[in-house]
Structure 1
Amino acid sequence: MSHPTTRAARRAATAQRILEAAQIEFGEHGLEASTVRAIAQRAEVDPSLVIQHYGSKNDLFAIATRLDRESTDDEVAEHLFDVLDVRLGMLPPATRALVRSMLTAPEATAAMKDFLDERVVNLARTTSGDEAELRAALTVSSILGLTIARHFLKLDALQSVSPEQIATTLQPWITAGLGRQDG
Protein backbone atom coordinates (compact mmCIF):
# COMPACT_ATOMS: atom_id res chain seq x y z
CA MET A 1 0.00 0.00 0.00
CA SER A 2 1.46 3.39 -0.97
CA HIS A 3 1.62 6.25 1.49
CA PRO A 4 -0.44 9.39 0.78
CA THR A 5 1.69 12.08 -0.81
CA THR A 6 -0.42 15.24 -0.67
CA ARG A 7 -1.18 17.04 2.55
CA ALA A 8 -4.92 16.50 2.03
CA ALA A 9 -4.40 12.78 1.45
CA ARG A 10 -2.24 12.48 4.59
CA ARG A 11 -4.86 14.37 6.59
CA ALA A 12 -7.63 12.10 5.31
CA ALA A 13 -5.56 8.99 6.09
CA THR A 14 -4.93 10.25 9.63
CA ALA A 15 -8.63 10.96 10.15
CA GLN A 16 -9.49 7.46 8.93
CA ARG A 17 -6.89 5.89 11.25
CA ILE A 18 -8.34 7.83 14.18
CA LEU A 19 -11.88 6.78 13.27
CA GLU A 20 -10.93 3.11 13.03
CA ALA A 21 -9.03 3.29 16.32
CA ALA A 22 -12.03 4.96 17.96
CA GLN A 23 -14.39 2.25 16.74
CA ILE A 24 -12.17 -0.42 18.27
CA GLU A 25 -11.64 1.53 21.50
CA PHE A 26 -15.34 2.31 21.93
CA GLY A 27 -16.17 -1.29 21.08
CA GLU A 28 -13.85 -2.63 23.75
CA HIS A 29 -14.48 -0.05 26.47
CA GLY A 30 -17.65 1.92 25.65
CA LEU A 31 -17.94 5.69 25.54
CA GLU A 32 -17.48 6.35 29.23
CA ALA A 33 -14.27 4.32 29.72
CA SER A 34 -12.61 5.30 26.43
CA THR A 35 -10.26 8.26 26.40
CA VAL A 36 -8.97 10.54 23.68
CA ARG A 37 -5.45 9.59 24.76
CA ALA A 38 -6.16 5.84 24.32
CA ILE A 39 -7.72 6.44 20.90
CA ALA A 40 -4.72 8.54 19.87
CA GLN A 41 -2.30 5.90 21.12
CA ARG A 42 -4.13 3.19 19.17
CA ALA A 43 -4.09 5.39 16.03
CA GLU A 44 -0.44 6.29 16.65
CA VAL A 45 -1.12 10.03 16.62
CA ASP A 46 -0.89 12.88 19.08
CA PRO A 47 -4.10 13.32 21.14
CA SER A 48 -4.45 16.88 19.84
CA LEU A 49 -5.01 15.44 16.35
CA VAL A 50 -8.05 13.51 17.59
CA ILE A 51 -9.61 16.76 18.79
CA GLN A 52 -8.46 18.64 15.69
CA HIS A 53 -10.14 16.12 13.37
CA TYR A 54 -13.29 15.31 15.37
CA GLY A 55 -13.87 18.09 17.91
CA SER A 56 -14.60 16.05 21.03
CA LYS A 57 -14.79 12.49 22.25
CA ASN A 58 -18.60 12.65 22.05
CA ASP A 59 -18.51 13.96 18.48
CA LEU A 60 -16.08 11.21 17.52
CA PHE A 61 -18.33 8.63 19.20
CA ALA A 62 -21.33 9.84 17.18
CA ILE A 63 -19.38 9.43 13.94
CA ALA A 64 -17.71 6.16 14.93
CA THR A 65 -21.02 4.51 15.78
CA ARG A 66 -23.00 5.74 12.80
CA LEU A 67 -24.68 2.69 11.29
CA ASP A 68 -25.72 2.20 7.68
CA ARG A 69 -29.27 3.51 7.18
CA GLU A 70 -29.67 2.83 3.46
CA SER A 71 -32.07 0.10 2.35
CA THR A 72 -35.01 -0.43 0.04
CA ASP A 73 -38.28 -2.06 1.02
CA ASP A 74 -37.46 -5.18 -0.99
CA GLU A 75 -34.13 -5.65 0.76
CA VAL A 76 -35.25 -5.23 4.37
CA ALA A 77 -36.55 -8.74 5.18
CA GLU A 78 -33.70 -10.48 3.35
CA HIS A 79 -31.34 -8.09 5.10
CA LEU A 80 -32.57 -9.46 8.44
CA PHE A 81 -31.06 -12.84 7.64
CA ASP A 82 -27.76 -11.17 6.78
CA VAL A 83 -28.02 -9.21 10.03
CA LEU A 84 -28.49 -12.46 11.95
CA ASP A 85 -25.33 -13.87 10.37
CA VAL A 86 -23.39 -10.73 11.26
CA ARG A 87 -24.82 -10.35 14.78
CA LEU A 88 -24.04 -13.95 15.61
CA GLY A 89 -20.60 -13.67 14.01
CA MET A 90 -17.99 -11.06 14.83
CA LEU A 91 -19.52 -7.65 15.52
CA PRO A 92 -18.23 -4.67 13.54
CA PRO A 93 -16.43 -2.18 15.82
CA ALA A 94 -19.07 0.54 15.35
CA THR A 95 -21.86 -1.84 16.37
CA ARG A 96 -19.89 -3.15 19.36
CA ALA A 97 -19.27 0.42 20.55
CA LEU A 98 -22.87 1.45 20.16
CA VAL A 99 -24.34 -1.61 21.89
CA ARG A 100 -21.80 -1.45 24.72
CA SER A 101 -22.59 2.22 25.40
CA MET A 102 -26.32 2.44 24.66
CA LEU A 103 -27.41 2.07 28.30
CA THR A 104 -24.85 4.44 29.79
CA ALA A 105 -24.32 7.24 27.27
CA PRO A 106 -27.23 9.43 26.13
CA GLU A 107 -25.59 9.90 22.71
CA ALA A 108 -25.44 6.15 22.19
CA THR A 109 -28.99 5.69 23.48
CA ALA A 110 -30.29 8.25 21.00
CA ALA A 111 -28.26 6.80 18.12
CA MET A 112 -29.43 3.25 18.82
CA LYS A 113 -33.07 4.30 19.28
CA ASP A 114 -33.04 6.25 16.00
CA PHE A 115 -31.42 3.34 14.16
CA LEU A 116 -33.82 0.73 15.57
CA ASP A 117 -36.90 2.94 15.02
CA GLU A 118 -35.87 3.31 11.39
CA ARG A 119 -35.39 -0.47 11.06
CA VAL A 120 -38.85 -1.05 12.55
CA VAL A 121 -40.50 1.39 10.13
CA ASN A 122 -38.71 -0.12 7.12
CA LEU A 123 -39.53 -3.67 8.18
CA ALA A 124 -43.17 -2.85 8.95
CA ARG A 125 -43.56 -1.40 5.43
CA THR A 126 -42.55 -4.75 3.96
CA THR A 127 -44.78 -6.77 6.30
CA SER A 128 -48.46 -7.26 5.61
CA GLY A 129 -51.23 -8.07 8.02
CA ASP A 130 -52.35 -6.84 11.38
CA GLU A 131 -49.92 -5.26 13.79
CA ALA A 132 -47.08 -5.12 11.24
CA GLU A 133 -45.28 -2.41 13.23
CA LEU A 134 -45.50 -4.39 16.48
CA ARG A 135 -44.25 -7.56 14.79
CA ALA A 136 -41.41 -5.59 13.19
CA ALA A 137 -40.48 -4.08 16.58
CA LEU A 138 -40.46 -7.52 18.20
CA THR A 139 -38.25 -8.87 15.41
CA VAL A 140 -35.77 -5.99 15.64
CA SER A 141 -35.74 -6.25 19.45
CA SER A 142 -35.13 -9.98 19.27
CA ILE A 143 -32.09 -9.51 17.05
CA LEU A 144 -30.75 -6.89 19.47
CA GLY A 145 -31.34 -9.34 22.33
CA LEU A 146 -29.49 -12.10 20.47
CA THR A 147 -26.60 -9.71 19.89
CA ILE A 148 -26.37 -8.79 23.55
CA ALA A 149 -26.82 -12.36 24.78
CA ARG A 150 -24.13 -13.75 22.48
CA HIS A 151 -21.47 -11.04 22.48
CA PHE A 152 -21.78 -9.30 25.83
CA LEU A 153 -23.41 -11.78 28.20
CA LYS A 154 -21.85 -14.74 26.37
CA LEU A 155 -24.89 -16.95 26.93
CA ASP A 156 -23.64 -20.55 26.67
CA ALA A 157 -26.36 -21.75 24.29
CA LEU A 158 -25.50 -19.02 21.78
CA GLN A 159 -21.72 -19.35 21.83
CA SER A 160 -21.53 -22.12 19.25
CA VAL A 161 -24.41 -21.36 16.89
CA SER A 162 -23.49 -22.74 13.47
CA PRO A 163 -24.51 -21.33 10.08
CA GLU A 164 -26.75 -24.39 9.66
CA GLN A 165 -28.56 -23.60 12.93
CA ILE A 166 -29.07 -20.03 11.76
CA ALA A 167 -30.68 -21.34 8.56
CA THR A 168 -32.78 -24.08 10.17
CA THR A 169 -33.83 -22.45 13.45
CA LEU A 170 -33.38 -18.70 13.52
CA GLN A 171 -34.44 -17.73 9.98
CA PRO A 172 -37.77 -19.58 10.19
CA TRP A 173 -38.34 -18.10 13.65
CA ILE A 174 -37.83 -14.56 12.29
CA THR A 175 -39.98 -15.31 9.23
CA ALA A 176 -42.78 -16.68 11.42
CA GLY A 177 -42.58 -13.64 13.68
CA LEU A 178 -43.17 -11.42 10.69
CA GLY A 179 -46.13 -13.53 9.61
CA ARG A 180 -44.45 -14.63 6.38
CA GLN A 181 -44.72 -18.03 4.78
CA ASP A 182 -41.55 -17.69 2.68
CA GLY A 183 -38.12 -18.12 4.10
Structure 2
Amino acid sequence: MSESTSAPAPAGSAPARRSDATRRAILEAARERFAADGYERATIRAIAQQAKIDPSMVMRYYGNKEGLFAAAVAIDLKLPDPASLPREEAGRALVTHFLAMWEDNEVLTALLRVGVTNDAGAERMRGIFSDQLLPLARRICPDPEQAPARAALVSSQLLGLALTRYVLRFAPAVDLHPEEITAWLAPAVQHYLTAPHPGV
Protein backbone atom coordinates (compact mmCIF):
# COMPACT_ATOMS: atom_id res chain seq x y z
CA MET A 1 0.00 0.00 0.00
CA SER A 2 1.51 3.33 -1.01
CA GLU A 3 1.99 6.04 1.58
CA SER A 4 -0.12 9.14 1.13
CA THR A 5 1.58 12.52 1.28
CA SER A 6 -0.18 15.77 1.92
CA ALA A 7 0.55 18.45 -0.66
CA PRO A 8 0.94 22.10 0.38
CA ALA A 9 -2.32 24.00 0.42
CA PRO A 10 -2.90 26.02 -2.76
CA ALA A 11 -2.49 29.77 -2.41
CA GLY A 12 -6.24 30.34 -2.62
CA SER A 13 -7.17 27.58 -0.18
CA ALA A 14 -8.91 28.13 3.14
CA PRO A 15 -5.75 27.45 5.23
CA ALA A 16 -3.76 29.94 3.15
CA ARG A 17 -6.47 32.54 3.54
CA ARG A 18 -6.57 31.96 7.30
CA SER A 19 -2.79 32.33 7.46
CA ASP A 20 -2.94 35.63 5.56
CA ALA A 21 -5.71 36.88 7.83
CA THR A 22 -3.71 35.91 10.92
CA ARG A 23 -0.64 37.76 9.65
CA ARG A 24 -2.70 40.86 8.93
CA ALA A 25 -4.27 40.74 12.38
CA ILE A 26 -0.86 40.40 14.03
CA LEU A 27 0.66 43.27 12.06
CA GLU A 28 -2.30 45.58 12.68
CA ALA A 29 -2.16 44.86 16.40
CA ALA A 30 1.63 45.27 16.45
CA ARG A 31 1.45 48.67 14.74
CA GLU A 32 -1.12 49.90 17.24
CA ARG A 33 0.82 48.64 20.25
CA PHE A 34 4.20 49.90 19.02
CA ALA A 35 2.63 53.30 18.32
CA ALA A 36 0.86 53.47 21.69
CA ASP A 37 3.43 51.81 23.96
CA GLY A 38 6.76 52.22 22.17
CA TYR A 39 9.10 49.39 21.26
CA GLU A 40 10.34 48.58 24.75
CA ARG A 41 6.95 48.42 26.49
CA ALA A 42 5.03 46.68 23.72
CA THR A 43 4.94 42.95 24.45
CA ILE A 44 4.26 39.89 22.33
CA ARG A 45 1.55 38.91 24.81
CA ALA A 46 -0.25 42.26 24.51
CA ILE A 47 -0.02 42.18 20.73
CA ALA A 48 -1.36 38.62 20.62
CA GLN A 49 -4.18 39.54 22.97
CA GLN A 50 -5.20 42.44 20.76
CA ALA A 51 -5.03 40.22 17.66
CA LYS A 52 -7.09 37.57 19.53
CA ILE A 53 -4.57 34.80 18.98
CA ASP A 54 -2.15 32.78 21.09
CA PRO A 55 1.29 34.40 21.64
CA SER A 56 2.93 31.30 20.17
CA MET A 57 1.38 32.18 16.80
CA VAL A 58 3.19 35.53 16.80
CA MET A 59 6.47 33.74 17.44
CA ARG A 60 5.67 31.19 14.75
CA TYR A 61 5.17 33.83 12.08
CA TYR A 62 7.79 36.41 13.10
CA GLY A 63 10.28 34.70 15.41
CA ASN A 64 10.68 37.42 18.04
CA LYS A 65 9.74 41.01 18.79
CA GLU A 66 12.55 42.38 16.63
CA GLY A 67 11.32 40.38 13.63
CA LEU A 68 7.75 41.45 14.26
CA PHE A 69 8.76 45.10 14.51
CA ALA A 70 10.70 44.92 11.24
CA ALA A 71 7.67 43.42 9.48
CA ALA A 72 5.22 45.86 11.05
CA VAL A 73 7.14 48.91 9.88
CA ALA A 74 8.23 47.68 6.45
CA ILE A 75 7.34 50.75 4.41
CA ASP A 76 7.61 51.57 0.74
CA LEU A 77 7.75 55.36 0.52
CA LYS A 78 6.57 55.12 -3.11
CA LEU A 79 8.74 58.08 -4.07
CA PRO A 80 8.30 59.72 -7.47
CA ASP A 81 10.39 58.19 -10.23
CA PRO A 82 13.43 60.49 -10.55
CA ALA A 83 13.73 59.65 -14.24
CA SER A 84 10.36 61.27 -14.93
CA LEU A 85 10.64 64.04 -12.33
CA PRO A 86 11.66 67.48 -13.64
CA ARG A 87 14.71 68.53 -11.64
CA GLU A 88 13.34 71.97 -10.85
CA GLU A 89 10.11 70.49 -9.44
CA ALA A 90 11.70 67.89 -7.17
CA GLY A 91 11.29 69.88 -3.94
CA ARG A 92 7.59 70.52 -4.42
CA ALA A 93 6.97 66.94 -5.55
CA LEU A 94 8.68 65.48 -2.48
CA VAL A 95 6.93 67.74 0.04
CA THR A 96 3.54 67.10 -1.57
CA HIS A 97 4.19 63.36 -1.65
CA PHE A 98 5.31 63.13 1.97
CA LEU A 99 2.45 65.26 3.25
CA ALA A 100 0.00 62.89 1.57
CA MET A 101 1.81 59.90 3.09
CA TRP A 102 1.89 61.33 6.61
CA GLU A 103 -1.81 62.19 6.40
CA ASP A 104 -2.84 58.67 5.34
CA ASN A 105 -0.16 56.28 6.63
CA GLU A 106 -0.48 55.48 10.33
CA VAL A 107 2.43 53.04 10.10
CA LEU A 108 4.83 55.83 9.19
CA THR A 109 3.59 57.96 12.08
CA ALA A 110 3.89 55.00 14.46
CA LEU A 111 7.45 54.38 13.31
CA LEU A 112 8.35 58.02 13.90
CA ARG A 113 6.96 57.84 17.45
CA VAL A 114 9.01 54.73 18.17
CA GLY A 115 12.09 56.17 16.46
CA VAL A 116 12.11 59.18 18.77
CA THR A 117 12.63 57.01 21.86
CA ASN A 118 14.06 53.70 20.66
CA ASP A 119 17.25 52.70 18.86
CA ALA A 120 15.53 49.96 16.84
CA GLY A 121 12.92 52.39 15.58
CA ALA A 122 15.51 55.04 14.79
CA GLU A 123 17.64 52.53 12.89
CA ARG A 124 14.62 51.36 10.92
CA MET A 125 13.68 54.92 10.02
CA ARG A 126 17.26 55.69 8.96
CA GLY A 127 17.29 52.62 6.77
CA ILE A 128 14.00 53.43 5.07
CA PHE A 129 15.00 56.99 4.25
CA SER A 130 18.56 56.12 3.28
CA ASP A 131 17.61 53.21 1.02
CA GLN A 132 14.76 55.01 -0.72
CA LEU A 133 15.57 58.73 -0.68
CA LEU A 134 19.28 58.50 -1.44
CA PRO A 135 18.87 57.12 -5.00
CA LEU A 136 16.52 59.98 -5.84
CA ALA A 137 18.93 62.56 -4.43
CA ARG A 138 21.80 60.97 -6.33
CA ARG A 139 19.86 61.27 -9.59
CA ILE A 140 18.79 64.88 -9.06
CA CYS A 141 21.67 66.63 -7.27
CA PRO A 142 24.48 68.22 -9.32
CA ASP A 143 27.21 66.00 -7.85
CA PRO A 144 26.32 62.39 -6.93
CA GLU A 145 29.08 62.36 -4.30
CA GLN A 146 27.11 65.00 -2.38
CA ALA A 147 23.91 62.92 -2.46
CA PRO A 148 24.23 61.44 1.07
CA ALA A 149 24.58 64.88 2.68
CA ARG A 150 21.80 66.35 0.56
CA ALA A 151 19.47 63.42 1.27
CA ALA A 152 20.16 63.80 5.00
CA LEU A 153 19.27 67.51 4.87
CA VAL A 154 16.07 66.75 2.96
CA SER A 155 15.20 64.10 5.56
CA SER A 156 15.74 66.63 8.34
CA GLN A 157 13.10 68.88 6.79
CA LEU A 158 10.56 66.13 6.09
CA LEU A 159 10.98 64.35 9.42
CA GLY A 160 11.04 67.62 11.34
CA LEU A 161 7.71 68.55 9.78
CA ALA A 162 6.25 65.13 10.59
CA LEU A 163 7.47 65.26 14.17
CA THR A 164 5.99 68.69 14.89
CA ARG A 165 2.74 68.15 12.96
CA TYR A 166 1.83 64.51 13.63
CA VAL A 167 3.64 63.44 16.81
CA LEU A 168 4.26 66.49 19.02
CA ARG A 169 1.30 68.25 17.36
CA PHE A 170 2.52 71.82 17.70
CA ALA A 171 -0.56 73.97 17.14
CA PRO A 172 0.84 76.18 14.35
CA ALA A 173 2.17 73.16 12.43
CA VAL A 174 -1.09 71.23 12.87
CA ASP A 175 -3.21 74.18 11.76
CA LEU A 176 -1.32 74.90 8.54
CA HIS A 177 -3.04 73.81 5.32
CA PRO A 178 -0.97 71.32 3.26
CA GLU A 179 -0.69 73.82 0.39
CA GLU A 180 0.70 76.42 2.78
CA ILE A 181 3.22 73.92 4.17
CA THR A 182 4.29 73.06 0.64
CA ALA A 183 4.73 76.72 -0.25
CA TRP A 184 7.02 77.22 2.77
CA LEU A 185 8.93 73.97 2.69
CA ALA A 186 9.35 73.09 -0.99
CA PRO A 187 11.93 75.84 -1.70
CA ALA A 188 14.10 74.61 1.20
CA VAL A 189 13.96 71.00 -0.01
CA GLN A 190 14.66 72.13 -3.57
CA HIS A 191 17.66 74.12 -2.31
CA TYR A 192 19.11 71.09 -0.53
CA LEU A 193 18.73 68.97 -3.65
CA THR A 194 19.97 71.27 -6.40
CA ALA A 195 21.72 74.38 -5.04
CA PRO A 196 25.48 74.67 -5.59
CA HIS A 197 27.61 73.35 -2.77
CA PRO A 198 28.35 76.19 -0.31
CA GLY A 199 32.05 75.39 -0.57
CA VAL A 200 32.89 75.91 3.09
TM over 0.5: yes
The 1:140–1:152 alpha-carbon spacing in structure 2 relative to 1, beyond 3 Å, is same
Query: How far apart, CA to CA, are the structure 2 residues paired with 1:74 and 1:145?
Result: 27
Give RMSD over aligned pairs: 2.6
1:60 is displaced (CA, Å) by 0.3
Residues 102-141 of structure 1: CA distance to partner in whole angstroms, max 9, x if unpaired? 2443332322222222244223223233545433321111
**Once the 2 structures are TM-superposed, how far is the Cα of residue 27 of structure 1 from its aligned partner?**
1.7
Shift of 1:172: 3.3
Q: TM-score, normalised by structure 2?
A: 0.74
Q: Secondary structure at the match of 1:67?
A: coil
Q: 1:164 aligned to 171, 174, 179, which one?
A: 179
Between the aligned partners of 1:171 and 1:179, the Cα distance in structure 2 is 12
The structure with more radius of gyration: 2
Aligned length: 175
Tell me how far 1:94 sits from its aligned partner: 2.5
Q: Is the 8 A contact 2:95 2:185 kept in 1?
A: no
| Cα distance, 1:10–1:132 mapped onto 2, change above 3 Å | closer
Counterpart of 1:74 in structure 2: which amino acid? A
Equivalent residue letter for 1:19: L
Listed one character per residue, the Cα deviations across residues 49-94 of structure 1 (whole Å, up to 9, x for unaligned) are: 212221111110011111216654336743442113333x25x232
User: 1:26 corresponds to which residue?
Assistant: 34
Kindly report which structure 2 residues correspond to 1:63-102, keeping only aligned pairs within 5 A, or say none: 63-68=71-76, 72-74=81-83, 77=90, 78-87=93-102, 89-90=103-104, 92-102=105-115
Q: What residue number does 2:120 align with?
A: 107
Partner of 2:152: 137
**Distance in 2 of aligned mates of 1:75 and 1:160:** 33
Identity %: 34
- Bigger CA drift: 56-65 or 148-157? 148-157
- What SS class does the counterpart of residue 76 from structure 2 fall into? coil
The 2-side partners of 1:15 and 1:75 are apart by: 36
Contact 1:36–1:57 (8 Å) recurs in 2? yes
AA at the equivalent of 1:51? M
